[in-house]
């Protein structure tokens, strides 16, 4: 059984705190076979991490967390940026044209400036057959959301949809990597893609952090990483 965390942020995100090397090293320590780096509207870090991942024994999927006009969207298996600010449908179709897939992250969640897709928006978008072929997963468990009840609502929504269920950490600090993860048959990114399309993935949860720990850990790491974040030194 393989294990993946498909929602990770690095120093290349405006709110990220971890270098690429730190993310890859922690992913290996956490027993993850596959990870996706999904920085906010940025793909540079993910592309650089692809060159480093094999040395850490982890397979990396390049991705982005795209800010759509309707809420955040995870785009995986792409190597080009997709412009932010477009509608959910248009964004998904652009990801499709690049050969990627999409996952709806932390649906319905609010707080701390989080921009989430609503259930209505997702349901409406999936009426488009091309969107339905590309938006193939929903994050029914997000380990870092402060809006804990949203995981409950995401699970209810996921059960209504003919779509793969995933769990992710949404880690902005290295210690959170793997707190939420996705189980799948096999061990490679190719196996994971098949499992997503076949809707056979399963969610794995580790011991949940309190909202205080999520915030305080991020605050400390954010201050610690200020020099790297502002100067771009040793981001790898």
Residue 63 bridge partners (DSSP): 76
Sequence ranges of the domains in the chain: 2-231
More confident residue, 228 or 13: 13
Kindly report the average pLDDT of the chain as a whole number. 94
> Is 234's pLDDT higher than 80?
no
Cα angle 126, 132, 138 (rounded to 5 degrees) comes to 80
Give residue 229's pLDDT. 64
Enclosing H/E stretch for 230? helix 226-231
pTM of the complete model: 0.94
Mean pLDDT of 67-89: 98
More confident residue, 132 or 217: 132
Rounded to a whole number of angstroms, the distance between the first and last alpha carbons of the chain is 30
pLDDT in tens, 109-165: 987 778 999 999 999 999 999 999 999 999 999 999 988 899 999 999 999 999 999
pLDDT in tens, 5-18: 999 999 999 999 99
pLDDT in tens, 85-107: 999 999 999 999 999 999 999 99
Task: Give me Rg for the CA atoms of the chain.
Answer: 16
Q: What homologous superfamily is domain 2-231 in, according to CATH? A: Metal-dependent hydrolases (3.20.20.140)
């Amino acid at each position: 059984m393989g294990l993946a965390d498909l929602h990770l942020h690095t120093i290349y995100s405006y709110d990220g705190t971890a270098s690429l090397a730190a993310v890859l090293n922690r992913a290996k320590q956490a027993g993850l076979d596959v990870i996706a780096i999904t920085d906010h509207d940025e793909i540079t870090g993910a592309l650089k991490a692809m060159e480093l991942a094999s040395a850490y024994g982890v397979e990396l999927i390049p991705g982005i967390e795209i800010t759509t006009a309707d809420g955040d969207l995870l785009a995986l298996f792409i190597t080009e940026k997709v412009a932010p600010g477009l509608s959910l449908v248009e964004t998904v179709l652009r990801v499709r044209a690049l050969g990627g897939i999409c996952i709806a992250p932390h649906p319905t969640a609010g707080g701390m400036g989080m921009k989430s897709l609503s259930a209505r928006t997702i349901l409406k978008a999936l009426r488009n057959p091309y969107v339905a072929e590309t938006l193939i997963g929903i994050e029914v468990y997000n380990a870092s959301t402060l809006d804990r009840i949203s995981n409950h609502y995401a699970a209810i929504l996921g059960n209504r949809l003919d779509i793969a269920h995933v769990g992710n950490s949404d880690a902005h600090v290295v210690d959170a990597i793997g707190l939420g993860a996705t189980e799948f048959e096999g061990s490679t990114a190719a196996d994971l893609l098949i499992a997503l399309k076949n809707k056979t993935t399963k969610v794995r949860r580790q011991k949940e952090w309190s909202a205080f720990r999520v915030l305080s850990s991020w605050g400390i790491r954010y201050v610690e990483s200020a020099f790297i974040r502002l100067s771009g030194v040793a981001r790898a």
